[in-house]
Amino acid sequence: MFRTTTASTAWSAALAIALGTGMPVVAAEEKIDMRTGASPVRGEIAGKSLQQGEMEIAANQAADADQAEKPRVEPAASSDAERPPDKPAAGKVNLAQMAIFTLPPAAARGTSGGPPRPVTQFLQHQYSYGSESDITYRRDPDLNPAVRDNSTILAPQVNGYVLYRPNSSLEFMLEMMLEQEIAAQEEPIITLPNGETRVAQNRSTSLLVDQAWVKFKNVGPFDVTLGRRNFEDERHWLYDTSLDAIFARTKLDNFIVELTAARKDRWNLDLIRNVPTGHIDNYMLYVDYRGIEDIRLAGYTIYSYDNAGKEGKPLHMGLRAYGMPSDKFNFWSELAFLRGKDELQRDFSAYAVDVGGTYRYTEHPLRPSITLGYAYGSGDGNPNDKTNKEFRQTGLQSNEIKSAGVSKFKYYGEVLDPDLSNIGIFTAGFGFRPVQNIFVDLVYHQYRLNEIADEVRNWALTAQMNQVDTDLSKDVGKALDIVVGFRNVFGIRRFGIDLRAGWFFPGKAFLRNDGDEENPNIHRAHKGVSMLAKFWW
């Protein structure tokens, strides 16, 4: 007992002294026999200077726990990206996590020659720069190969941010991106299936201020942020955009409470391109509970007021739970209700659910994974009554997330990319890693309408459903997506490539009549294709 206590005391003293110096800290595998006092056997050693550790600690302490406020600069992951940390088996000790500390001379420890150095240093400046450029190809969004509407758009881009902290209570952020959209293939005028005419948009150069905010810390119990700020929830199901906002955040025990009053594009902060100013005010309350290890519970209320009267006054309320209770399994669940008024002053009475999970076979060399999910948004079967039962998402979301790999993709389908509105979506996915730096996701979707309709809200197609009165159907169709992520391309750590391809196979709802009622000429719709290549640096 005495020998064990003495060893523990010496260990604690050595740790405390080493952390107060700038000497190297070296980790090694140890075998220590407390009963015999035998000398440790050293294994493979890898070291990192304490100065480097100080900078990392300071950066972590300065960073807000809210991921949304970070700049949207997503670096290419390392070759082992997204791999959950392996947990030691029960009853075993991970000896590789132990460390040996070499004591510096007394002068360096501060016993003579000045006071000891602090463990952490205040990180006053941060900056980053990179690129997130992409090429997008879409074929037959109207599902009719006889109509010329294919497009290929190149979007080279560079971005960067600067974060400045004059003191521990104040932060400033400026993030900008320079982008030029280039239409390699695009029709100048397209006649849509509903008879409308669409003119190709002006693709001028953009120099956008994506974030520009100031944060005041410890304003009473709150941290308060003013200005343009990124808002991203975990699944990008509620919001994934920049908003001009007043944002307040506080932590109460295991609860994090966020209050926001915001509008998208309240001001035109593109220094080159003319961006129309927004007209929808959003008032948001989000409460996050983190008292359960590896699981997060949250509730929210989002009230939107459209000053132009085009979207009404929707009130979203919801509960969500998601997490990763083990290295092998993660899950998500959404339950949302829509109340308030639509653009015709009808009462909303709608709901949506989205549940699913991913299981990983971490012992297999290919690290395969299986994902299953189901999402449902209610529809409105009677547009002439006083109640609107069609669920609508907030309009601020992107519905884009990572699965078991490193690449983001549209989790409701690359080609269709709908809002979760008047539709049920079954999803099955399979992921694997053929080599260390390549991640593959194969995703299958099956779509079905809740109520008969001619389109799904905010989808990426221009085709129309149920145009043959004698053959109405809720069968929207099926889709297959392939997502491949490359990291450390050509040995360059920051360089990554994402390739996303989707094929949509229309169902019976897309039958069309190329004749007339007296002489019908019924055709099935053609498949639609979407491809995207994204380059990270």
Which one-letter amino acid corresponds to residue 465?
A: M
Residues 6+ apart with CB under 8 A from 61: 120
Rounded Cα distance between 394 and 232, Å, is 13
Degrees to nearest 5, angle at CA 295 with 496 and 217: 75
Contact criterion met (CB below 8 Å) for 84 and 490: no
Q: What are the tokens at 452?
A: 């008969």
Specify which residues 259 forms β-bridges with.
248, 285
Query: Contact 417/398 with Cβ under 8 angstroms?
Result: no
Contact between 193 and 172 (Cβ < 8 Å): no
Determine which helix (DSSP H) or strand (DSSP E) holds 56, and give its type and residue range.
helix 50-62
Distance of alpha carbon 437 from alpha carbon 242, whole angstroms: 31
Q: How far apart are CA 376 and CA 378, in angstroms?
A: 7
Burial label, 223 (beta-carbon count in 10 A; 0-12, 13-18, 19+) = buried
| Cβ-Cβ contacts under 8 Å for 158 (sequence gap 6 or more) | 129, 130, 131, 177, 178
φ/ψ of 52, rounded to 5, equals: -60, -40
DSSP state for residue 381 in the 8-state scheme: S
Instruction: Give bridge partners of residue 213 from the DSSP assignment.
Output: 173, 227
- Domain residue spans in the chain? 2-83+91-109, 125-536
Residue 325 to residue 486: CA distance in whole angstroms: 28
* Pairing relationship of beta strands 387-388 and 347-348 according to DSSP bridges: parallel
What is the reported pLDDT for 123? 84
Residues 6+ apart with CB under 8 A from 205: 178, 179, 180, 272, 273
Q: Is the dihedral of CA 233, 235, 237, 241 positive or negative?
A: positive
Structure tokens at 38: 């035998």
For residue 110, the model assigns a pLDDT of 47
Output the pLDDT for position 105.
56
**Distances 357 to 62, 328, 404 between C-alpha atoms, Å:** 33, 11, 10
Calpha distance 479→356 (Å, rounded): 18
With contact defined as beta carbons under 8 Å apart, do 427 and 418 qualify?
Answer: no
In DSSP terms, 159 is beta-bridged to 130, 177
Q: Are 25 and 18 in contact (CB under 8 A)?
A: yes
For the segment(s) 125-536, the CATH number from 2.40.160.100, 3.50.50.60, 3.90.1150.10, 3.40.190.10 is 2.40.160.100
**Location of structure tokens 């992951």:** 77
Q: Which pTM was predicted?
A: 0.79
Q: What is the pLDDT of residue 69?
A: 60
Please state, in angstroms and rounded to a whole number, the distance separating the CA atoms of residues 486 and 476. Answer: 33
Assigned token pair, 348: 């909303």
Q: What is the pLDDT of residue 68?
A: 52
SS3 156: coil
CB 350 within 8 A of CB 387: no
Q: Where are the beta strands (DSSP E) in 266-328?
A: 280-292, 295-306, 313-323
The answer to whether 467 touches 512, Cβ cutoff 8 Å, is yes
Question: One digit per residue, pLDDT tens: the chain, 537 residues?
Answer: 444 444 444 434 443 433 444 333 333 333 333 333 333 333 333 333 334 444 443 444 444 444 456 565 554 444 344 444 444 444 444 434 444 445 555 544 444 455 666 555 678 999 999 999 999 999 999 999 988 999 999 999 999 999 999 999 999 999 999 999 999 999 999 888 878 888 888 888 999 999 999 999 999 999 999 999 999 999 999 999 999 999 999 999 999 999 999 999 999 999 999 999 999 999 999 999 999 999 999 999 999 999 998 999 999 999 999 999 999 999 999 999 999 999 999 999 999 999 999 999 999 999 999 999 999 999 999 989 999 999 999 999 999 998 878 899 999 999 999 999 999 999 999 999 999 999 999 999 999 999 999 999 999 999 999 999 889 999 999 999 999 999 999 989 899 999 999 999 999 999 988 777 777 788 889 999 999 999 999
